[in-house]
Chains A and B, each alone.
Chain A
Amino acid sequence: MFGTHYRIERKSVVLAVAIMIVASIGGLIEIAPLFTIDETVETDPNMRVYTPLELAGRNIYMREGCYACHSQMIRTLRDEVERYGPYSLAVESKYDHPMLWGSKRTGPDLARVGGKYSDQWHTAHLTNPRDVVPESIMPRYSFLRAAPLQTAHLADDLRALRRVGVPYTDEMIANATADAAAQASPDDDTAGLVKRYGDATQVRTFDGDKDTVTEMDALVAYLQILGKLSSAAHTPPPVQTAQK
């Protein structure tokens, strides 16, 4: 064995090829099957996609690095389930490109925060967390309320997501900009939006300001949908057998 190596280490290209082969094996065996084994992701025919406004909110969540302090992955451990709700299933992040499971909980898990608080609470909390929770160490995001949401190119975002596998329809893509505005303006005609994304679509002025659609509207709309795209995790019996 060491004799062979004594010869290999005299040839740089052989060494390089050997490194690539040896290093590739682990990833191939662990990752490739995740795309082919059906049980990896549960099926949920009622799973819905993010509306353009929620998607914009999700992009703000990424931009602000909320994932650096908040996880979105409830593990299969008793205390987590009791604290945050049913443990997360793979299907729930099926349309998340990329996923935002996170690796650090400086703040609480947000996988099921949708519906836990009112829109006003979120808006006040994001504007200055210490107004609502005096001890909080979360940063302030008051600037979101002043920033009008950029919606002009949302169709491109939906189209790119369709390219990677999210089932946005032509109609959804064509109406992306209008749908984003409509979801935060309940006085507008929202019938088309609700028809495209389902009856459960939440149409409200999320940040309490009717006149402009702001980044705060988008982010709160996203927070309020967390854990609600699929009901698979709540339907007994669980699709995936529980681990200890």
Chain B
Amino acid sequence: MVSGLTVNERQRALVVLALLAIVGMAMAAFGAMRGDLLQVHGFVVLLFSLVVLAPVLKGYFAPEPPAERLHDYYDDPIKVGIILSMIWAVFGMGVGDWVAWLLAFPDMTFDAAWSSFGRLRPVHTTGVIFGFGGSALIATSFHVMQRTSRARLADQFSPWFVLIGYQLFCILAVSGYLIGITQSKEYAEPEWYADIWLVVVWVVYLLLYLRTLARRKEPHIYVANWYYLAFILVVAILHIVNNLAVPASFAGVKSYSAFSGVQDAMTQWWYGHNAVAFFLTAGFLGMLYYYLPKRAERPIYSYRMSIVGFWGITFFYMWAGSHHLHYTALPDWVQTLGMTFSLMLLIPSWIAAGNALATLNGAWHRVRDDAALRFMMMAAIFYGLSTFEGSFMAIRPVNALSHYTDWTVAHVHAGVLGWDALITFGAFYALVPWLWKRERMYSPVLVEVHFWLALAGTLIYVFAMWNSGIIQGLMWRTYNDSGTLTYSFLDTMIAMHPYYIARAIGGLLFLTGTLIACYNIWMTIRRPAPRAAPAGDTPLPQPGAPLPANPQPAE
């Protein structure tokens, strides 16, 4: 990998890593003086820079890469991104299933602070959303931006900076919760210094994206890129505003949010809901709009539906955050706006999902035979289902029942398992043979097995949580004849037990599927490459030659 970098780029890597090591040492020193946990994170940063330094030093004296490399795409960071994403998937889902068992058997853990439910739960959410999902988004965006622009990445250094720098953010986040560093804002738990680091990484990411688009040989920017671009831009806005805070000391980890009470709640859920919208939806729609038509070898069904869907999602989502705060101390007018826009949001959401499904018309035989494509189709269906459910739950009287219960958890995992994880696996099953130049995955049978395990796991999980959520919500509001509440809180908690076990089993199936995917990907990589590159991936046009006849899957 390092031998693919020019000497100049290797030097740049050394400089950045040296700076990072110095920052790490400074954090450790200041933290130690104050007796603060910042010390630990200083060492984490230092260690991280040393670990990355090792391969850079090892490849440092390799000869310069040949100039011909510039006539091809730059895929090394994508390959590493896929592997990192799968590692996070196993880690994050493993912790998720552990946490799931803890809700059934609370003592299935160590008698130590780091292993208690409250610290592990954000490890799960961050591990899967940011670790698994984020790495997958970065990796696939590098692939999609090059293929749809028919241009090589703008340079070779920044993609590594983005991918590896992002890993540091995730590691700081996850290790922080375990040792007790958190802002406690859901999905924005990392403290101020990690947040600042993410801003740096993100700015480089945006610039890389725009610079690569500027080199494109296609006059039009393909719809998948609109979604990736929205993902990068809006996540930046959300992240910066929601994380505005004043550190208690620059030598300490603790900071206090700039907002309080009701304003903080609204800002947090404006962030939280749109993290769902632009991280867990827009980015993955970018994946869906590239890999599904590509794999089905059909153009996107409708250009106009792409446009309406995209701008509808970009506009409506940002109003919907207040549906997380129905019947709370948030003023009524904001709740009403949130509910109204959540209902309207169903229209562009279904247009986006319908456009993807209609693309499969005429390719259903492929869906039947090709499990990778079936992953993508199933993802589009779950996307449609979870947005329908979301709009329903945003109706105030429905939310009165669903809020605070496992119904929310059911909705969440219909979205993240059925939609985000399935589209990611589908995309990876298409990508891995293309990137490593293999004819196909090592074992198509194992892809098939993974598909059914993932589907069964998701359905068991979601049905268990629908049941528990609705039962608990109803029990909380049941009155007996004398007009008093029938059930104590404890009664309703005990009633959850069987569903928590069922959910944990569903999660185990899903996790098993993920492990099988890791094995399959690993064996595909290890298999020797055929002499001729297999077809499928869009080739880069060579200088002087006409554009190849493989058209973009759209417009």
Contacts and interface: CB of A to CB of B under 8 A. Distances in A.
Interface of A: 2, 5-6, 9-10, 12-13, 15-16, 19-20, 22-27, 29-31, 34-35, 37, 39-41, 59, 62-69, 71, 73, 75-77, 79-80, 82-83, 87-108, 129-130, 133, 135-143, 150, 152-153, 156-157, 159-161, 163-166, 240, 243
B55 interface: no
Given A77-B327, A83-B489, A100 B106 contact: no
B348 to A, nearest CB: 12
A77 B476 CA distance: 11
B117 interface: yes
B248 A94 contact: no
Contacts of A136: 106, 490, 493
A64 B120 CA distance: 9
B328 A88 contact: yes
A150 B248 CA distance: 14
B265 A101 contact: yes
Interface in B211-239: 213-214, 219-221, 226, 229-230, 233-234, 237
A16 B229 contact: yes
Contacts of B270: 27, 30-31
Nearest to A109: B404
A160 B255 contact: yes
Contacts of A69: 117-118
Interface in B145-191: 177, 180-186
Contacts of B258: 97, 164
A142 B493 contact: no
Contacts of B337: 29-30
Which of B249, B256, B315, B320 is the most central at the interface, judged by chain A CB atoms within 10 Å of its CB?
B256
Contact of B318 (A25, A89, A107): A25
B197 interface: no
Contacts of B330: 90
B118 A75 contact: no
B331 A105 contact: no
Contacts of B8: none
A65 B264 contact: no
9 closest A-B pairs by CB: A65-B118, A26-B318, A26-B319, A75-B327, A93-B261, A62-B184, A105-B404, A90-B329, A98-B257
Interface string B328-371: 11111010011001000000000000000000000000000000
B23 interface: no
B262 A41 contact: yes
Scoring A65, A87, A91, A98 by chain B CB atoms within 10 A of each residue's CB, the highest score goes to: A98
A231 B319 CA distance: 33
Query: Looking at A69, A97, A100, A159, which has the most chain B CB atoms within 10 Å of its CB?
Result: A97
A64 B118 contact: yes
A116 to B, nearest CB: 12
Q: Which of B254, B262, B322 has the largest number of chain A CB atoms within 10 A?
A: B262
A120 B194 CA distance: 39
A2 B337 CA distance: 28
A159 B248 contact: yes
Contacts of B490: 133, 135-136
10 contacts: A12-B213, A12-B221, A20-B233, A25-B315, A30-B319, A30-B321, A62-B183, A64-B180, A83-B476, A90-B330
B493 A135 contact: yes
Contacts of B182: 62-63, 65
A160 B405 CA distance: 35
Given A15-B229, A140-B111, 16 more contacts: A2-B303, A2-B304, A19-B233, A22-B315, A24-B237, A24-B318, A29-B337, A30-B270, A65-B182, A79-B485, A90-B262, A94-B260, A97-B257, A103-B404, A106-B493, A164-B257
* B265, B317, B319, B337 — most chain A CB neighbours (10 Å): B265
B271 to A, nearest CB: 9
A104 to B, nearest CB: 6
Contact of A19 (B249, B314, B403): B314
Nearest to A129: B106
Nearest to B177: A65
Given A76-B327, A160-B247, A23 B233 contact: yes
Contacts, number: 268
A59 B183 CA distance: 9
B39 to A, nearest CB: 13
B263 A34 contact: yes
B263 A35 contact: yes
Among A26, A62, A130, A139, find the residue whose CB has the most chain B CB atoms closer than 10 A: A26
B405 A105 contact: yes
Contacts of A83: 476, 485, 489
B408 A104 contact: yes
Interface string B249-283: 10010111111111111111010000000000000
Given A22-B311, A31-B267, A73 B329 contact: yes
A51 to B, nearest CB: 16
Contact of A23 (B118, B256, B304, B315): B315
Given A65-B119, A69-B118, A37 B331 contact: yes
A156 B249 CA distance: 7
A71 to B, nearest CB: 6
Most chain B CB neighbours (cut-off 10 Å) among A5, A30, A139, A166:
A30
B439 to A, nearest CB: 35
Contacts of B104: 137
B467 interface: no
- Of residues A63, A76, A141, which shows the largest number of chain B Cβ atoms within 10 Å of its Cβ? A63
Interface string B400-413: 10011100110000
Contacts of A161: 256
A203 B64 CA distance: 71
B113 interface: yes
Contacts of B257: 97-98, 164
Contacts of B516: none
Contacts of B325: 101
Contact of B409 (A37, A64, A104, A135): A104
Contact of B234 (A19, A150, A156): A19
A68 B122 contact: yes
A97 B265 CA distance: 10
Contacts of B102: 137, 139
B324 interface: yes
Contact of B112 (A2, A20, A143): A143
A238 B258 CA distance: 28
A104 B121 CA distance: 12
A156 B109 CA distance: 35
B118 to A, nearest CB: 2
Given A68-B117, A97-B257, A157-B248, A27 B318 contact: yes
A141 B119 CA distance: 12
Nearest to B106: A137
B400 A75 contact: yes
B268 A40 contact: no
B476 A67 contact: no
A1 to B, nearest CB: 8
B264 A97 contact: yes
